[in-house]
DNA sequence: GTTGAGCGTT
């Protein structure tokens, strides 16, 4: 009972999968079990998590034995506050075997002749995208990158998603890749890092810009001086604030300021 | 210790 997802999928042919989103990163299958078990027979609960860190991704899959129970759970647990977070319960659309799911029910016996193109899955590209995006960006050169972006442009993303994607890209290239780490997305950082390390060499060769490596030492020096005035004297009890600044503080000193405070 | 859009393992 407490070993949900430990031994793999038991029987997914006659089970209805529910996708639980917006759950806390600390919520486990056992924590969700009582919530869903109250509304029906829960066959299995699986929470995808990082293979390396082992942290939950923030969503879980709950499999019910009957559709009516699953439906009830969705209606009752959707929007329910669990562990201090409002969870989102809905029928799963995609199966573990990349099979199509009908109303949460995993139907592996679906024939291609039955339904050919019902509706393209716009959200499925999300996960596949972030991976492909990083991978291609590092392994391929800039030209291909643009081509890729154009190619996928045809799909037309949703408003906020597209913006988020574009912004990150822009910032990461012009500002600093730290944005990614600071933002959080560490769930797949391991994968990203592994790839980048391997492709590190390739990327260098592609760039081929030896004389283009100028981290602007002048600006660096200025920055270091400002926040670290330790070069002066730790014991400035003398009260003489002019002492610790014998040299030019910065190329853009502010005489007006000095004058202002000493009429 | 943090994060927060989304669809899954033996």
| CA A259/CA A263 separation, integer angstroms | 6
Alpha helices, H only, chain A: 29-37, 67-77, 124-139, 142-153, 159-174, 178-183, 189-198, 200-207, 217-225, 255-261
Residue in the structure block whose two tokens are 């899955």: A121
Which one, of A91, A104, A81, lies nearest residue A32 by Cα?
Answer: A81
Rg, C-alpha atoms of chain A: 27
Q: What is the model's pLDDT at position A109?
A: 44
Q: Is any atom of strand B within 7 angstroms of residue A55's beta carbon? A: yes
Q: What is the model's pLDDT at position A94?
A: 84
- Contact in structure between A24 and A85 (CB atoms under 8 Å): yes
Q: What is the model's pLDDT at position A15?
A: 85
Which one, of A130, A139, A125, A122, lies nearest residue A187 by Cα?
Answer: A130
Q: What is the model's pLDDT at position A10?
A: 64
Minimum-distance nucleotide, CA of A182 to C1': B3
- Reading chain A (263 residues) residue by residue, the pLDDT tens digits are 567 766 666 666 778 999 999 999 999 999 999 999 999 999 999 999 888 888 899 999 999 999 999 999 999 999 999 999 999 999 998 877 666 666 657 655 443 333 333 333 343 333 433 333 333 344 444 444 333 443 333 333 333 333 333 433 334 333 333 333 334 344 444 444 444 444 444 444 443 333 333 343 333 333 333 333 333 333 333 333 333 334 333 333 333 333 333 33
Q: Which of strand B's nucleotides are less than 7 A from any protein C-beta?
A: 2-10
Q: What is the model's pLDDT at position A93?
A: 86
Which one, of A21, A24, A19, A20, lies nearest residue A84 by Cα?
Answer: A24
Q: How buried is A44 (Cβ within 10 angstroms: 0-12 exposed, 13-18 middle, 19+ buried)? A: buried
Q: What is the model's pLDDT at position A99?
A: 64
Q: Is any atom of strand B within 7 angstroms of residue A105's beta carbon? A: no
Interatomic distance A226 CA / B5 C1' (Å):
39
Q: Is any atom of strand B within 7 angstroms of residue A130's beta carbon? A: no
Q: What is the model's pLDDT at position A127?
A: 42
């Amino acid at each position: 009972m407490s070993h949900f997802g430990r031994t793999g999928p038991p029987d997914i042919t006659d089970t209805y999968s529910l996708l639980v989103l917006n759950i806390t990163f600390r919520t486990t299958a056992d924590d969700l079990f009582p919530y869903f078990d109250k509304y029906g027979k829960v066959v299995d609960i699986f929470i995808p998590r990082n293979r390396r860190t082992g942290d939950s991704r923030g969503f879980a899959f709950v499999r019910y034995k009957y559709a009516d129970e699953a439906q009830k759970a969705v209606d009752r647990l959707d929007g329910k506050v669990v562990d201090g977070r409002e969870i989102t319960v809905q029928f799963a659309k995609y199966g573990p075997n990349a099979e199509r799911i009908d109303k949460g029910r995993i139907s592996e016996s679906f024939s291609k002749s039955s339904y050919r193109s019902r509706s393209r899955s716009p959200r499925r590209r999300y996960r596949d995208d972030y991976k492909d995006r990083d991978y291609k960006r590092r392994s391929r050169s800039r030209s291909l990158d643009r081509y890729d972006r154009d190619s996928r442009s045809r799909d037309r993303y949703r408003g906020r998603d597209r913006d988020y994607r574009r912004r990150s890209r822009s910032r990461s290239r012009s500002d600093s890749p730290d944005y990614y780490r600071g933002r959080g997305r560490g769930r797949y950082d391991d994968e990203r890092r592994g790839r980048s390390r391997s492709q590190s060499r390739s990327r260098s060769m592609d760039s081929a810009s030896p004389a283009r490596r100028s981290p602007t030492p002048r600006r660096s020096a200025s920055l270091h001086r400002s926040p670290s005035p330790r070069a002066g004297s730790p014991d400035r009890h003398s009260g003489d604030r002019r002492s610790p600044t014998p040299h030019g503080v910065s190329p853009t000193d502010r005489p007006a300021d000095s004058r202002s405070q000493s009429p």
